[in-house]
Structure 1
Amino acid sequence: MHKSFTPSAASPAEIHLYTAQEFEGLTADPFKGARAIAAGQAFVASAGQAVLVSGEDGALAHILFGLGNGRDALGVAALAARLPEGDYTIARPSGLGFADIAAGWADGAYRFDRYLKEQAAPPRLVIPAGEDGEALSREADAIAHLRDLVNTPASDMGPPALEAEVAAMADRFGARLTVVTGDALLAENYPMVHAVGKAATFAPRFLELEWGDAAHPELALVGKGVTFDSGGLNIKGGDGMRIMKKDMGGAAHAIAMAELIMGAGLKVHLKLYVPAVENAIAGNAFRPGDILSSRKGLTVEIDNTDAEGRLILADALARASEGDPDLLLDFATLTGAARVALGPDLAPLYTDDEALAEAVLAGSKTSGDPVWRMPLWDPYLADLKSPIADLVNSGGRFAGSITAALFLKQFVSARSWAHFDVWAWRKGKYGRPEGGAACGLRAVWAMLQTRYSG
């Protein structure tokens, strides 16, 4: 079971969840003196407010916690982030589904402690009888793995380490992994993966994992695996480069999704594709003005070497489309423009499949994981035209997330495709730890379970 969950506890502290409206109308104490204690601490159940009450023996016995308007499905993350080690049970859920409570709890209890001398144990939530503890644990473990991958610095999470992570997952689930490395990428027709990664100390590589019964519908996942992005010769400034260890966040999302799919035994034929590179600077680095060939056969003029993620994704999407998958999904930390439009928490969704869009948004509503559909506005393709190649890799500042998605679309021939331009990073909002974060993962997982439940 996930380390912040437990199936039972001898004497757990009781958590009482209230929205502000519910607490205002409270006419009876949930435990002795609750309303008086709350009044003494000005508790009105605003989002994130908490009152901790000890029992006669001095041990923590009751917690009042505020959910504000109750719209944040993962609102209890702020509570799990501040509670000490110990066991806790939900005495009053305030209408939240237990899956949301468990997801929020694991989110707030998470700590990246790989490099810390002091490693505290997290608070543990009691999973009551009747709840699917295994499924809740799989989700919490997959998201924690995603966050660990993103939080690990590039010195320990370069292309070889990312390959090792996928290899370990393949061994765990009996999947088959194929890896193409270095100059072999040219022989195997991944020219843009090679071009982006060839200047780095660690050779670029293309990872392809296969799992499941080939008679089942093929589900293809693609994740952008730029383990560090200097910007290349269009070098980023210091502030822009500071957290670029997270530029493999798309790969982390795809890996976590594959882990969920295989762990649950979903009835699909899974293909996972991860182009893993570092966008570094050396004498052989690709340059602005270069023209690259691609696996699809389209040529690309390089306008900006800091628009490298879409190049490696283009080869990966072309490869994934060759299997004629029932569904193709890609995750990428692709553009700052998506953050300007939607911020770090909303996952931008791009697809021209109306049924798929509706299914993802339904999964978002079910899971409480926010996703926002963005337009694949074809007239903006004009911004990607080059006079000397089929495409240019950067459409400029205007509508940057849309033009990036349109660029990717040119390399997709699958019958159904969706692109998620995720950020994979979060500041310390709601008391949750700053660093790597899942974005849209629970929404997509809810959609996939519904789509392939038969």
Structure 2
Amino acid sequence: MADLIQIQLQFSAPEAKWGKASVIPNTTGFALCVNETDPLRSVQKAARSLDALGISEVALCGDNWTLELQWAFYQGFCNAKRHAGVQFCGDKACQRQLAQLQQCFSFAKQLTNQTPDELYPEQLAQQAADFISSIAAKGTVKSQILVGQQLVDAGWHGLHAVGRGSARKPAMLVLDYNPTGNAAAPVSAALVGKGITFDSGGYSIKATESMLTMKCDMGGAATVTAALALAILQGLNKRVQLILCCAENLISGDAYKLGDIIRYKNGTTVEIVNTDAEGRLVLADGLMCAGESGAGLIIDAATLTGAAMTAVGAEYNALFALDKALAQRTLGYAAQVRELTWQLPLELWHQQQCPSAYADTANSRPVKGGGAGGASNAAGFLSRFVPNDGQGWLHFDLAAAFNTSSNAYWAAGATGQGIRSICHTLLAELG
């Protein structure tokens, strides 16, 4: 450690000669002068400053580093090209937890930051399955990947429709983590992730500036995969299914079109009025698959709507639920792990906010951004495909999962925000 740049933490103002600086050089490295009213953001901002200096490896030292402060430093210090370089401190239990967080967040960030040429639907499904298998005990994981026509044969028409325009076929991963040793054990929870490896918008094509970062549109799949992995590392002992809905939303002679009607496995018919509202179409299949498992807790995560980002900004994730008691508990879990989360409105009547003259519902409203209440209307669409009138179901719209450019607190690219919230919800709700 003596050869590394050492980072100490002090809860006091710097000497007058340093002015208002928060990063002060000393004989072994730097001291971070932390704002006591908001220490986590203060530390994360200081870590970004160190990354901007080109420093690639540091050691945290001293008595003031709690687990959460160290994690805030890591989140600010790492960037899209580097997910290591922080030597944590504290007792063995603290360092073990931080290593687990780094392992799972690094996986999710690297996956989300991959180019769309490198990461295609079937590969996304396979990488997720491989990662969970590498984390879990031998014999506890079984997985199946349905590709192309196999989706139609299984009744997953929404996912197939969205992905059929690409030469790289859509895929659904259904992974079963069962640590109980009992093949007949009930599925306690199911996680569903949106895995759009590139979103051109389809025939409702995006502008260049909106399309540039659409490799991140599989951030929901990366988030729920990493959340399950983290829960396993932290002792998850209940049976959980992971369902990823993976596709490229591209234009071709075989792509789905405006005016098409999809008939879903539960009989619901959906008119396509916007091919850029594709995430909800693939998640609908994933949610029905989760419902077939009998899981009492269903959590989906997706980079679903620009409307959610407009509502809560890029620092918060948006949470939707018809189960109000579960939503309140989940907000508490997110607060415990310091992930900013805000509940937006969702009622059963939101199912009727995208009417169609030709089908049971449209997949959006035929106006820019889906119109007023677009994020809630998208959640209302999803609620048509969950069991038990939405009891036991949570929908995360991941507005904070990706930054198009760096800022004072985050590097450009994937953030991993939502992983800890979903993991903690799993562990707390399943006991």
How does the TM-score come out when normalised to structure 2? Answer: 0.89
| Pairing of 1:23-172 with structure 2 (within 5 A) | 23=13, 38-43=15-20, 49-54=22-27, 59-60=28-29, 62-67=30-35, 69-70=37-38, 73-81=40-48, 82=50, 84-91=55-62, 93=64, 98-113=66-81, 122-129=84-91, 131-172=93-134
Task: Give, as a single letter, the amino acid of the residue that structure 1 aligns with 2:289.
Answer: R
- In structure 1, stretches of 5+ residues that fail to align are 1-7, 24-34, 114-118
| Partners of 2:79 and 2:412 within 8 A in 1 | no
| Pairing of 1:32-431 with structure 2 (within 5 A) | 38-43=15-20, 49-54=22-27, 59-60=28-29, 62-67=30-35, 69-70=37-38, 73-81=40-48, 82=50, 84-91=55-62, 93=64, 98-113=66-81, 122-129=84-91, 131-172=93-134, 173=136, 174=138, 175-212=141-178, 213=180, 215=185, 218-395=188-365, 396-414=370-388, 415-423=391-399, 424-426=401-403, 427-431=405-409
| Partners of 2:273 and 2:363 within 8 A in 1 | yes
C-alpha spacing 1:178/1:319, structure 2 compared with 1 (3 Å): same
Match of 1:450 in 2: 428
SS of aligned partner of 2:301: strand
- In structure 2, stretches of 5+ residues that fail to align are none
| Partners of 1:9 and 1:126 within 8 A in 2 | no
SS of aligned partner of 1:43: coil
* CA distance, structure 1, for counterparts of residue 2 and residue 231 of structure 2: 30
C-alpha spacing 1:106/1:381, structure 2 compared with 1 (3 Å): same
* CA distance, structure 2, for counterparts of residue 122 and residue 52 of structure 1: 22
| Partners of 1:109 and 1:122 within 8 A in 2 | no
Task: Give, as a single letter, the amino acid of the residue that structure 2 aligns with 1:152.
Answer: Q
Task: Give, as a single letter, the amino acid of the residue that structure 1 aligns with 2:154.
Answer: E
1:217 positional shift: 5.5
Q: Give percent identity, aligned residues only.
A: 29
* CA distance, structure 2, for counterparts of residue 170 and residue 131 of structure 1: 22
How does the TM-score come out when normalised to structure 1? Answer: 0.85
CA root-mean-square deviation: 2.2
C-alpha spacing 1:198/1:86, structure 2 compared with 1 (3 Å): closer
* CA distance, structure 2, for counterparts of residue 123 and residue 135 of structure 1: 16
Bigger CA radius of gyration: 1
* CA distance, structure 1, for counterparts of residue 197 and residue 58 of structure 2: 37
* CA distance, structure 2, for counterparts of residue 247 and residue 192 of structure 1: 17
Residues 392-449 of structure 1, C-alpha deviations (whole Å, 9 max, x = no match): 1003311000000000000000540000011321232224311111223222323333
* CA distance, structure 1, for counterparts of residue 285 and residue 360 of structure 2: 15
Stretch moving more, 349-358 or 226-235:
349-358
C-alpha spacing 1:383/1:447, structure 2 compared with 1 (3 Å): closer
C-alpha spacing 1:217/1:75, structure 2 compared with 1 (3 Å): farther
C-alpha spacing 1:356/1:90, structure 2 compared with 1 (3 Å): farther
Residues 13-72 of structure 1, C-alpha deviations (whole Å, 9 max, x = no match): 351232xxx53xxxxxxxxxxx5xx2111036xxxx211112xxxx42x4132336316x
Residues 136-195 of structure 1, C-alpha deviations (whole Å, 9 max, x = no match): 211121112111111111000111220221231243224111111111111111011111
Stretch moving more, 289-298 or 213-222:
213-222
C-alpha spacing 1:248/1:87, structure 2 compared with 1 (3 Å): closer
C-alpha spacing 1:281/1:443, structure 2 compared with 1 (3 Å): same
- The number of equivalent residue pairs is 411
SS of aligned partner of 1:275: strand
* CA distance, structure 2, for counterparts of residue 346 and residue 386 of structure 1: 32
Stretch moving more, 83-92 or 129-138:
83-92
* CA distance, structure 2, for counterparts of residue 337 and residue 219 of structure 1: 28
